[in-house]
């Protein structure tokens, strides 16, 4: 077993992928997604991490984090994580910095696992067991035909739950929200759960009223009924509806989680590309576990998959349309679910390999120059 290796440097690249049609949730619309990819080198090995973030994250990786990790022990990603958090104290560890730390942390875990020639899951002490996923997308921009097509596609993978966006136009189209939920409810039948995500589009009173309609439709998951910044509001909605109230996708670390799991959510979402990578994920999950709250992976299913089997109280991962599409384009080694489950790869690292030609094709331009 290797006992010495040093992080020689980081390479960072931003790539932008257009959506396959107009997309929106309750509060935001978009037509592309940018991925910031970090590659960490040591002893002829390369570890790869990434985050779904603006290209500005490139500057944070190069300007703030590379000086911290360069020359460090490549077999000690936890120590590098702690050093990155300390170095970011004044800049803050949420938002873009949290995304940057996440991408570097994952690159360093992948590097460490490849240096040891073991899967990341094994390095973290997890079994190579399959993990349940649920279908996620159902954008408010979709017409009936497109929504049916997408949900039918997920059902073909054997998922046991599907999630659509509601809260359209900041809660101003509740009738259409409920019609779309009814459409999906009828399509999936009684054995598949229907989840909804309002992305903070309702206020508290409206979320309670919509929530009782969702209860009548058998919806079991009501994500961000109000802004996830409103911990009291989440708790009020939680006490009023039968569906699980869920939030947490913006968590940047254990302190955030500790505040949220006191009384505001039935299940905590964690995003491995925002919470501090695999190190941050495990710390956040441990805090939720201490409060008896289960966790669910937010977006980025292929990046979350390696850490999932090592996670206490894991419920499932989100098989999110945009991120699945990008990962399956950008990497070799991203399979589709079988019987609603994904299996960690039995390969060194996270088992995904960048397609260099796709990186070159989608490289984002910054101010007229490319990196
Ligand atoms: Mg969400």
Q: Residue 364 Cα, ligand 1 centroid: separation in angstroms?
A: 25
Q: Residue 299 Cα, ligand 1 centroid: separation in angstroms?
A: 8
List all residues 6 or more positions away from 92 whose beta carbon is below 8 Å from its beta carbon: none
Tokens of 130: 């399959």
Would you say residue 165 lies in a domain? Answer: yes
Using alpha carbons, select from 50, 29, 56 the residue that is nearest to residue 364: 56
CB-proximal residues (5 Å) to ion ligand 1: 197, 223
What pLDDT is recorded for position 3? 87
Q: Which residues of the chain have pLDDT under 50?
A: 367-371
- Residue 162 sits at φ, ψ, to 5 deg, of -135, 145
The parent domain of residue 24 ranges over 9-119+354-362
Do 95 and 139 lie in a common domain?
A: no
Would you say residue 1 lies in a domain? Answer: no
| CA–CA gap between residue 187 and residue 60 (Å, rounded) | 45
* Cβ–Cβ < 8 Å for 140, 27: no
Do 172 and 38 lie in a common domain?
A: no
Q: Residue 247 Cα, ligand 1 centroid: separation in angstroms?
A: 7
Alpha-carbon separation of residue 215 from 59, 198, 226 (angstroms): 46, 15, 17
Would you say residue 370 lies in a domain? Answer: no
Q: Residue 358 Cα, ligand 1 centroid: separation in angstroms?
A: 28
Number of compact structural domains in the chain:
2
Q: Residue 140 Cα, ligand 1 centroid: separation in angstroms?
A: 13
Using alpha carbons, select from 269, 302, 272 the residue that is nearest to residue 197: 269
Q: Residue 33 Cα, ligand 1 centroid: separation in angstroms?
A: 16
Domain CATH code at residue 65: 3.30.390.10
Do 78 and 189 lie in a common domain?
A: no
Would you say residue 329 lies in a domain? Answer: yes
Would you say residue 288 lies in a domain? Answer: yes
What pLDDT is recorded for position 1? 73
Q: Residue 249 Cα, ligand 1 centroid: separation in angstroms?
A: 6
What pLDDT is recorded for position 41? 98
Do 301 and 325 lie in a common domain?
A: yes
What pLDDT is recorded for position 2? 81
Q: Residue 224 Cα, ligand 1 centroid: separation in angstroms?
A: 7
Determine the length of the chain.
371
What pLDDT is recorded for position 368? 35
Domain CATH code at residue 134: 3.20.20.120
Q: Residue 66 Cα, ligand 1 centroid: separation in angstroms?
A: 30
Would you say residue 369 lies in a domain? Answer: no
Q: Residue 112 Cα, ligand 1 centroid: separation in angstroms?
A: 31
Q: Residue 220 Cα, ligand 1 centroid: separation in angstroms?
A: 15
């Amino acid at each position: 077993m290797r006992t010495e290796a040093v992080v020689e440097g980081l390479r960072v690249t931003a790539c932008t992928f257009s959506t396959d049609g107009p997309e929106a949730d309750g509060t935001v619309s978009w037509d592309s997604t940018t991925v910031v990819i970090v590659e960490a080198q040591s002893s002829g090995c390369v570890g790869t991490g990434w985050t779904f973030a603006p290209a500005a994250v490139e500057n944070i990786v190069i300007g703030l984090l590379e000086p911290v990790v360069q020359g460090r022990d490549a077999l000690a990603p936890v120590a590098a994580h702690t050093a990155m958090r300390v170095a970011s104290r004044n800049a803050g560890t949420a938002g873009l910095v949290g995304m940057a730390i996440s991408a570097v942390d994952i690159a360093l875990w992948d590097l460490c696992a490849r240096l040891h020639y073991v899967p990341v899951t094994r390095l973290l002490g997890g079994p190579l067991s399959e993990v349940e996923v649920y279908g996620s997308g159902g954008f408010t921009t979709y017409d009936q035909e497109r929504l049916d097509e997408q949900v039918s596609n997920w059902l073909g993978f054997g998922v046991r739950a599907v999630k659509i966006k509601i809260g359209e136009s900041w809660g101003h189209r509740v009738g259409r929200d409920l019609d779309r939920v009814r459409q999906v409810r009828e399509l999936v039948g009684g054995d598949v759960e229907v989840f909804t995500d309002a992305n903070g589009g309702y206020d508290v009173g409206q979320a309670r009223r919509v929530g009782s309609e969702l209860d009548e439709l058998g919806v079991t998951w009501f994500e961000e009924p109000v802004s996830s910044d409103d911990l009291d509001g989440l708790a009020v909605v939680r006490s009023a509806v039968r569906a699980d109230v869920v939030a947490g996708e913006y968590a940047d670390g254990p302190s955030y989680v500790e505040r949220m799991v006191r009384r505001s959510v039935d299940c905590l979402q964690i995003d491995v590309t925002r919470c501090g990578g695999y190190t941050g994920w495990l710390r956040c999950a441990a805090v939720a576990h201490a409060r008896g709250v289960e966790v669910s992976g937010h977006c980025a299913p292929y990046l979350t998959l390696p850490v999932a089997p090592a996670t206490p109280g894991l419920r499932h991962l989100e098989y999110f349309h945009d991120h699945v599409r990008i990962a399956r384009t950008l990497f070799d080694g991203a399979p589709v679910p079988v019987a609603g489950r994904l299996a960690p790869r039995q390969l060194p690292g996270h088992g995904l390999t960048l397609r260099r030609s796709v990186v070159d094709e989608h490289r984002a331009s910054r101010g007229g120059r490319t990196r």
